[in-house]
């Protein structure tokens, strides 16, 4: 087995201010696209995750990967961490949302950085081994809550169950250095939703809980040069942050 990993910033510093009402004016923490490239028994698989509100259009990326590396689209896996602290690009928008020159430019920037991340991960593959484990993390709660009027809404019910499973796939080289970590956890990862800077003037871009967790683990393994990412959970039903 060979594994390579890479991350590139997708924080739109050159496009700020942006957003539906130009509400994002600063960057609190860079947001990233991360890629893990795995080669085993003649097959190649890519895992690419974006620290964005939702997944961008991936058809163009899959086509480029097929042309450049011969990897079939079904072996190219994408996800978005669903941060609530980042601006939308055009391809992330739902029907009726207003696209602009900036959102178009952001799509192009994300594409370029995603391809750069994939290229780097493919180029730095090295002999590796993998390990899997799972544990529990107690930072989510049931998000189905019933109001006093009997109507159910998205809330925080600390008494009802939620899936606490934290699944971890780790790739290390033959010297035991961590190449990459893929984490899976069911959580609506909002930490600073709609918060502004200290002056209360502008919203700031950040990676939310998934980004902060990735930063922490990458910092822990910084001497190894590890890339850590939180892949979209099996389901976010009944889970929310505390």
pLDDT in tens, 38-56: 999 999 999 999 999 988 8
Do residues 40 and 129 make contact, with C-beta atoms less than 8 angstroms apart? no
**Domain boundaries, given as residue ranges, for the chain:** 2-130+167-183+194-235
pLDDT in tens, 161-181: 999 999 999 999 999 999 999
Give pTM, 2 decimals: 0.88
pLDDT in tens, 72-96: 999 999 999 999 899 999 999 888 8
């Amino acid at each position: 087995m060979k594994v390579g990993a890479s991350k590139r910033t997708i924080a739109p510093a050159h496009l700020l201010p942006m957003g539906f009402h130009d509400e994002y004016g600063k960057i609190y923490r860079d947001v990233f696209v991360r890629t893990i490239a795995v080669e085993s028994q003649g097959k190649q698989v890519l895992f690419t995750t974006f620290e964005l509100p939702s997944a961008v259009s991936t058809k163009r990326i899959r086509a480029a990967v097929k042309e450049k590396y011969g990897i079939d689209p079904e072996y190219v896996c994408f996800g978005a961490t669903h941060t609530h602290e980042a601006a939308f690009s055009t391809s992330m928008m739902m029907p009726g949302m207003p696209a602009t020159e900036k959102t178009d430019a952001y799509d192009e920037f994300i594409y370029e950085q995603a391809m750069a991340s994939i290229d780097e991960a493919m180029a730095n593959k090295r002999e590796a081994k993998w390990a899997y484990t799972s544990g529990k993390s107690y930072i989510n709660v049931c998000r189905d809550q019933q109001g006093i009027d009997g109507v159910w809404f998205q809330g925080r019910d600390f008494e009802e169950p939620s899936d606490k499973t934290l699944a971890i796939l780790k790739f290390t080289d033959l010297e035991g250095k961590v190449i990459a970590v893929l984490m899976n956890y069911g959580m609506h990862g909002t930490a600073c939703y709609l918060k502004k800077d200290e002056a209360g003037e502008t919203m700031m871009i950040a990676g939310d809980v998934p980004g902060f967790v990735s930063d922490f683990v990458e910092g822990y393994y910084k001497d190894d040069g590890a890339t850590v990412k939180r892949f979209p959970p099996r389901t976010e039903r009944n889970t929310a942050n505390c």
